[in-house]
Amino acid sequence: MGQQPGPAPQTPAPSTAPQTSPPQPQAPAVTTPAPPVHVGPTIVIDPAHGGTDNGAQGTSGIVEKDMVLRFARQLRAEFERQGFRVVMTRNDDSNPSYEDRAATANAYRDAIFISLHVASTGKIGTAQTYSYEYPSATALATGSSTPRSLIPWEEAQRPYLETSHRFADLVQMQLGLRFSDSPSVSKPFAVRELRSVAAPAIAVELSSVAVPDANMLFSMGFPLMNALVRSVQLFRPAPAPPGNVPGAAATPAGAK
């Protein structure tokens, strides 16, 4: 992707006033900047934890909630630069509930939900991607005849399991290229944030807050950003045509 549809060419209005003075160098037309045209899916970035919930804490003073917020802001800037609409589940030291985070994503028809985490454990400098998975044998009855609007809230991720898993594998492949020693495939696991998201949803966890120096974690931000942006581009290679912006009508109440 990467290319943003350019603004419509500006055609100056024909002037009807008689020219009484010699022609002067034409000043550039003053126009209000065109609203940004978004392409592709809406990226919902979820910096985990926040508020009184610090998440993982390292002995060197690294706190997960602050680290993921920093990564999320970095990621938002890059996605926006690429022309994507970006929504964050939090942009300060607040702690929205799991349901609020899911609701933020569910307000868009074409969202991709990315939850960011930093682990307490694991090999330093590696990253692991997770998608949600329910065991089908004990699933609630959500047959094809069930109207989509009646899917139970806790089962919202079910229709997207395969898509989420495919996206998680794609992200893990990209992360593996940038963080050596990372696993080659994603893992399905019951990460709470993903359960009620009615969209492709993944969680990415970097290792770890146990680094002796915070700069080691900060340095993971740039490759993480590149891996995620590249994955979204590969996941949805065809940009939506201008004028057909997915989710344009939706405005989430909890979006920040």
Partner 1 sequence: MPRNLRITLAILAVAVLIGLISLRGLQKRIQRLAQTPTTEEQARRDLLKPPISTPTDVVAQIPIFWAAGPDRVAPTQVALPLSADPVKRARQVIDALILQTPSAEQRTLPADATLLAFYILPDGTAIADFSDTLSTGTPSGIMSEQLVVDSIRRTLEKNVSGLRRLKILIHGQEVDTLAGHVDLTGFFDLNSAAGPTVPSTPAQDLPPTSAR
158 touches partner 1 by CB under 8 A = no
C-beta closer to partner 1: residue 172 or 208: 208
Print the binding letters for residues 204-243 with partner 1: x by CB under 8 A, - otherwise. -x-xx-----------------------------------
**Among 42, 82, 128, 164, contact with partner 1 (rule: CB under 8 A):** 128
C-beta closer to partner 1: residue 197 or 240: 197
C-beta closer to partner 1: residue 39 or 48: 48
Would you call 78 helix, strand, or coil by DSSP?
helix
Token duo for residue 223: 């490759």
Q: Tell me the C-alpha to C-alpha distance, in Å, between residue 201 and each of 3, 49, 104, 120.
A: 25, 17, 13, 22
94 touches partner 1 by CB under 8 A = no
125 touches partner 1 by CB under 8 A = no
106 touches partner 1 by CB under 8 A = no
113 within 8 A of 47, measured Cβ to Cβ: no
- DSSP for residue 28: P
Region of 37-45, 47-55, 68-76, 248-256 interacting with partner 1 (CB under 8 A): 47-55
Neighbours of 172 (CB within 10 A): 25
158 within 8 A of 134, measured Cβ to Cβ: yes
Give Cα 113 to chain centroid, integer Å.
5
Give Cα 46 to chain centroid, integer Å.
7
**Among 56, 87, 103, 224, contact with partner 1 (rule: CB under 8 A):** 56
In this structure, which amino acid lies at residue 213? Answer: D
60 touches partner 1 by CB under 8 A = no
Give Cα 217 to chain centroid, integer Å.
20
- C-beta of 145: minimal distance to partner 1 in Å? 19
What is the Cα–Cα distance from 156 to 139, expressed in whole angstroms? 12
Positions 178 through 197 that interact with partner 1 (CB under 8 A): 187-193, 195
Cα-trace Rg, the chain: 22
- C-beta of 208: minimal distance to partner 1 in Å? 7
Give the residues lining the site for partner 1 (CB under 8 A): 48-49, 53, 55-57, 64, 98, 117-123, 128, 130, 132-135, 137-140, 154, 187-193, 195, 203, 205, 207-208
